[in-house]
A = this chain, B = another copy of it.
């Protein structure tokens, strides 16, 4: 099985980096192929713009989805996006590992979604949720928070963790057709002691291992070929594209 870990933390010795290292080691031990997109280490640029494209649909006015549609039809994505899109296309299981900043992803990861999961590559009008391009694949969030678990409850300051992550689950992952696991959350990771952090890492490792075994037991072969067929089907249907304007 192919696993993509998208990792977003600036410090290589951080707890979040340990989560990614632990997941990678466990998955490789179990015989899976693991690709890590280490966004900070690779200097990923999260700002959407003309530099996303080698192609140009409309030089006078920049409409993002129009340029994405055009690039999807004409092999017009910039090299960094082609690299990330190839990684997504190959992945049966996607892990997103990051610290929760302001109740959400660090900007570098939000921009990975903005730019990589482009219109025509990862979704199109009428092709989302149950008909999403990425259906048949699974996704798991691995998150470390500064706040305690109590704060992420219905009566806590931030609200229930599922409520905080509603947009990520419903408007990002499920939108793409991904089967979304309950998030793994290491609460208050910087505030607990080393022993507790070690327990958290062991629990994370067990969670990832179990998920990969479960996914491998119900294989969905040829994820890349299925995605390519979905993209081509939409590109042949002009009516679909017209809706995007």
A residues whose Cβ falls under 8 Å from a Cβ of B: 10-11, 13-14, 40, 45-50, 61-65, 101-108, 110-111, 113-114, 117, 128-129, 146, 157-159, 163-168, 170-172, 175, 190-191, 243, 245
A61, B13: Cβ atoms closer than 8 Å:
yes
Q: Which of B49, B163, B175 contacts A166 (CB 8 A)?
A: B163
Q: Which of B14, B107, B128, B157 contacts A129 (CB 8 A)?
A: B157
Kindly provide the distance from the CB of A14 to the nearest chain B CB, expressed in whole angstroms.
8
Q: List 25 A-B contacts (CB under 8 A).
A: A10-B64, A11-B61, A11-B62, A46-B107, A46-B108, A47-B107, A47-B108, A48-B101, A48-B108, A63-B190, A101-B113, A102-B172, A103-B170, A104-B104, A104-B110, A104-B171, A107-B107, A107-B111, A107-B114, A111-B111, A157-B175, A158-B171, A159-B166, A163-B166, A167-B167
A110 contacts across to B, CB distance below 8 A:
102, 104-107, 110-111
